Amino acid sequence: MSDQFTFDIRLIFAILNGKVSAAIKRKLHQNFRQYNIDVSPEQWTVLLYLWEKDGVTQQELCNVTYKDKPSMTRLIDNMEQQNFVVRIPNKTDRRTNLVYLTRTGRDIEEKARFIANKTLKEALQGLTVEELSVSQEVLRRIFFNTKH
């Protein structure tokens, strides 16, 4: 890194404090409500994973969403009450349950993905493809550097 590079300390701390992700989550939540979809941004991350790989353990969901076990348990409890998912005992390991989508959980996929894409387009408005590409690579590297 060049010695002449100047950090925007306010931006760095906004990122560290999660303000960017919080703003996007807030916008996503508003857009879901506007389209009458009762899904939180946290539930969205679980649904997104289950749409790609249905029937996984809660631990796997914790790993991919970076949530702790108690938070994931509460999240899945709420999603069960809303009839988005169901827990089914694992036949090969009785100590665990597998989380599966219900028909309701599958049926909201198209609309929810549309709303999430709309939200992302709103958040990224005015950025060029090159800026997005560079930003994505920078964030990927930062994530990799801090993961270990």
Question: Is 31 part of any domain?
Answer: no
Q: Alpha-carbon distance 101 to 104, whole Å?
A: 8
Q: Alpha-carbon distance 39 to 48, whole Å?
A: 12
Question: Considering the entire predicted model, what is its pTM?
Answer: 0.82
Question: Is 123 part of any domain?
Answer: no
In our burial notation (b when 16+ CB lie closer than 10 A, e otherwise), range 112-138 reads beebbeebeeeeeeeeeeeeeeeeeee
**CB-based contacts of 40, cutoff 8 Å, min separation 6:** 29, 32
Question: Is 109 part of any domain?
Answer: yes
User: CATH code at 62?
Assistant: 1.10.10.10
Per the structure, the complete domain to which residue 92 belongs is given by 39-114
Label residue 145 by pLDDT band (50, 70, 90).
confident
Question: Is 122 part of any domain?
Answer: no
The count of structural domains within the chain is 1
CB 115 within 8 A of CB 123: no
Question: Is 120 part of any domain?
Answer: no
Question: Is 66 part of any domain?
Answer: yes
pLDDT tens-digit readout, 102-139: 999 999 999 999 999 999 999 989 989 898 888 888 88
